[in-house]
Structure 1
């Protein structure tokens, strides 16, 4: 397989880190700019919201641009967003930096996913997409512990200095190693949105949105939750985040294996039952550390184990338009991150961070209801895939 595919995986990891890396340093940012934890959490919200909405739109708008050229343009814009973030003198400037990073990062991730199959042979296309996707998932779950370690040691700007350096190296790498890749015909946005006419697909996407929203309500504010409910110091909190991240990375593989053995439907239902129960039990386990750590590990595994099962499920529903479903599922995931961080911020600022796991559990329980309705409803194909124009 073309080694440049692994380079695309590295780029996707660097870009993906920016989204949630800020979750572990919200308190440091809030203190520096004299804002509340909830207000600082909006930095996660704006990024995820733009990411969810912009990626399919920008992909259509740039459908005719040569891929290496487009990737370099996006990387330079992303680099400028890193510079704005690192040197932001006010919270408003930092917010603008997040918008720049989100707009360029949204297209960069999709570009990596699109370019990978073009570099792989026909027999390796699926594996190529999987390798790039692994970079994205790893960045989302490892970004927070990396940010936490660097932020506590050198200040909240340090993680973004690292990302700035890695982005600069990525730009050099694209210049040196990536050849021209001509664009392929893209699926029109109108046709992508027509997938919502299929109720099973709509309910599946709603499931992704709900469980990620519930997960984010807790995960985006996990550090302040630990600080309020436990006596763990900064080092122990970093270790907990690292344990969670490793568990989450393995969760994607475990979810794929379970989906193959048990079927996508059964895997999703079982995983969501355990997932929702964990959030309601979590607040009562802080006095029993072995149980507490087991719950954190299982939570980490389940947070990404559901995703491959859902992807397989969406492909099974309408294999002729599977690429559309994958794109929309990605948007639903990031929209869930955005909404979850908003809800979590509201709870933290108006009630207490101790309420977050219960709110998250309610959303995940709702996702269990939607996935059951989707699985049990009759298959309805209300649209046909048209040739891309």
Structure 2
């Protein structure tokens, strides 16, 4: 395995931190910049929406640019976004900083995902994507507690000072460690989008959207759920979040390994069956801590084990348009986060937070149905499985 894969994992971790690290410090931002927490929450919304929409568009627009050079350009823009965020005197300036970070970060994450397969042999494609996914999953699940700890100790700007420093180190790392990586020969956008006439691709992307929506309905409101259904104090809740986070990190790597060993199709089916069952069992596990802990660990693992398998599956379906498919899969993931948060909020406000796991489970069942239909569908064209940039 090329060691540069692990550098891409670290790079994806640094970029991914920006998205949710702000969640734990919204109250600090609101107080300092004299806005409501609801307004501060728009910083998450705008980032998620831009991140989801921009990556496929930017990937097409930059299709001819050499990948190392493009990565460096994006990192310098990302660094500017970090600096704007750290020194933002008003909420409006902070909002602009988030837009800069979202635009550059969206392309950086997808670049890491599409560069990874080009650094390994065909038999390690799933594993390479899984390793990069570890960085993404680690940033998303560890960002909240990390931002909370650093923000409470040193102020809400401190987490972004850390990310600024890490970004500067990443720029040095790209200059030193990464070699020139030429883009794949450009395929006309019309021909790329023609691949989506294949229902296997459309249903695969729908699967990602549905299972992440189901996961987020529960995860976004996990703290109030624990407060409503258990006697755990704040310390124990933090411990549970960390256990979940480390499990998710393991899941990202494990999903890639299983995709290589069992095949992407079997990995996704097995994971989604267990995942959906888990959500319906979850409400009845809080009375037994050992059972509850096991479910938390399995949930964390499965929440990110499916992503690398899906990425491998999309490459297998149509390798000649794999870059745009991976980008759209990343978009589907972030749209799922946004939609799941909104649905979860509606359930909490109108029904009860205790309904969230059942609602999440329904969406995951729907994702199982779409992936089965996708796998069972016939391909109109047979492609050779090969990924290169």
Same fold per superposition (TM over 0.5): yes
**Are the counterparts in 2 of residues 45 and 339 from structure 1 also a CA contact under 8 Å?**
no
SS at match of 2:95: helix
Unaligned 5+ segments in structure 2 are none
Partner of 2:112: 112
Question: How far is 1:36 from its partner?
Answer: 4.5
Within 5 Å, give how 1:1-389 maps onto structure 2: 4-26=4-26, 28-29=28-29, 35-36=36-37, 40-115=40-115, 120=119, 126=125, 131-175=131-175, 178=178, 181-259=181-259, 263-319=263-319, 321-348=321-348, 352-376=352-376, 378-381=377-380
Aligned-pair Cα RMSD in Å: 3.4
How far apart in 2 are the matches of 1:292 and 1:13?
28
Decide which moves more: 267-276 or 243-252: 267-276
Question: How far is 1:240 from its partner?
Answer: 1.4
CA 263–6 in structure 1, closer or farther in 2 if over 3 Å, else same:
closer
CA displacement 1:264-304 (0-9 Å, x = unmatched): 43432332232223223333433332222222111101101
**Are the counterparts in 1 of residues 131 and 252 from structure 2 also a CA contact under 8 Å?**
no
**Are the counterparts in 1 of residues 78 and 105 from structure 2 also a CA contact under 8 Å?**
yes
Question: How far is 1:70 from its partner?
Answer: 3.0
How far apart in 2 are the matches of 1:256 and 1:160?
30
**Are the counterparts in 2 of residues 74 and 108 from structure 1 also a CA contact under 8 Å?**
yes
SS at match of 1:381: coil
Q: TM-score with structure 1 length normalisation? A: 0.83
Question: How far is 1:168 from its partner?
Answer: 2.1
How far apart in 2 are the matches of 1:62 and 1:30?
37
Q: How many residue pairs are counted as aligned between the two chains?
A: 383
How far apart in 2 are the matches of 1:369 and 1:358?
17
Decide which moves more: 284-293 or 129-138: 129-138
Unaligned 5+ segments in structure 1 are none
SS at match of 1:339: helix
The runs of at least 4 aligned residues of structure 1 exceeding 6 Å deviation read: 121-125, 382-385
Q: TM-score with structure 2 length normalisation? A: 0.83
**Are the counterparts in 1 of residues 205 and 328 from structure 2 also a CA contact under 8 Å?**
yes
CA 99–356 in structure 1, closer or farther in 2 if over 3 Å, else same:
farther
CA 300–129 in structure 1, closer or farther in 2 if over 3 Å, else same:
closer
CA 321–239 in structure 1, closer or farther in 2 if over 3 Å, else same:
same
Question: How far is 1:58 from its partner?
Answer: 1.0
